[in-house]
Amino acid sequence: MNRIKMHPFKTQNVTAYSAALCTSKKNKKMPYLESHLILERCPHCRVANPNIVQLTNFSTNSFDNSNLRYWAVYSCKRCGGAITAFSFNKEDFVQEMYPSEISIDDNIPEKARAFLTQAVDSLHAPSGAIMLAASAIDSMLKEKGLKDGKLYGRINKAAEKHLITESMAQWAHEVRLDANDERHADDNAELPDGKAAKKTVDFALALAEFLFIIPSKIERGIKNASEKDT
Ligand SMILES: [Zn+2]
């Protein structure tokens, strides 16, 4: 049985994910604040059709009684990650949840976006997530004309061309960009763990932010400002 499809979703906008690395989907279908939180993927481990159960619930209000909200705290049975969500009515649909479900920003070129989405969705399989994140980084650098050489060298070149900051390039050297990294290529090399994969995916998301998302926001801001002036 596919319980995602069976669930009586309603449509609701979601505010942007606070990390600003990704944007939430507009018109995203939100689940209900019930004993189980029905999501397509766990926002922590990204496993599909997660078993997310309610641990506790309570309500809060503002000092002038104008903002009554019903809260529930959930936990993913697979990874143990906690999720907090609220609705404006008891057991109504969720208005916001933390962390929110994320999707990859539309301003990232299609191929890189596909790799990034798969990398985020593969965090439960660290080697695969690292390879996919590295493919996303490769694709993003190619879009910016940095086509030749190894990833680390091309990231340094991106800093030289001021596409990213020096500290961003330094960060690249702190993360594994290849699950079979030559620095770890001996037989005793350890397979990357979830933390290593998360670091690499975070770096790929930040690179996307620098190369595509921030420039497009700036472009939009300039356009909006000039439209107001005329
Ligand atoms: Zn999980």
Q: What would the pLDDT profile of 6-52 be if each residue is shown by its tens digit? A: 333 333 332 223 232 333 344 467 899 999 999 988 988 888 899 99
Between 205 and 186, name the one with better pLDDT.
Answer: 205
Cα-to-centroid distance, 10 and ligand 1 (Å): 23
Cα-to-centroid distance, 97 and ligand 1 (Å): 14
Cα-to-centroid distance, 142 and ligand 1 (Å): 33
DSSP 87-146: ESSTT-B-SEEESPP-B--TTS-HHHHHHHHHHHHTTTSHHHHHHHHHHHHHHHHHHTT-
Query: What is the distance between the alpha carbons of residues 125 and 109, in angstroms, rounded to a whole number?
Result: 24
pTM: 0.67
Cα-to-centroid distance, 43 and ligand 1 (Å): 7
pLDDT score of 26 = 42
Cα-to-centroid distance, 75 and ligand 1 (Å): 8
**Phi then psi for 205, rounded to 5 degrees?**
-65, -40
Cα-to-centroid distance, 23 and ligand 1 (Å): 20
> What's the pLDDT tens digit per position in 75-85?
999 999 999 99
CB 192 within 8 A of CB 127: yes
Q: At what angle do helices 151-160 and 126-143 cross, to 10 degrees?
A: 40
Cα-to-centroid distance, 147 and ligand 1 (Å): 36
Which H or E run includes 74?
strand 69-76
Cα-to-centroid distance, 98 and ligand 1 (Å): 13
Q: Which residues pair with 32 in a beta bridge?
A: 93
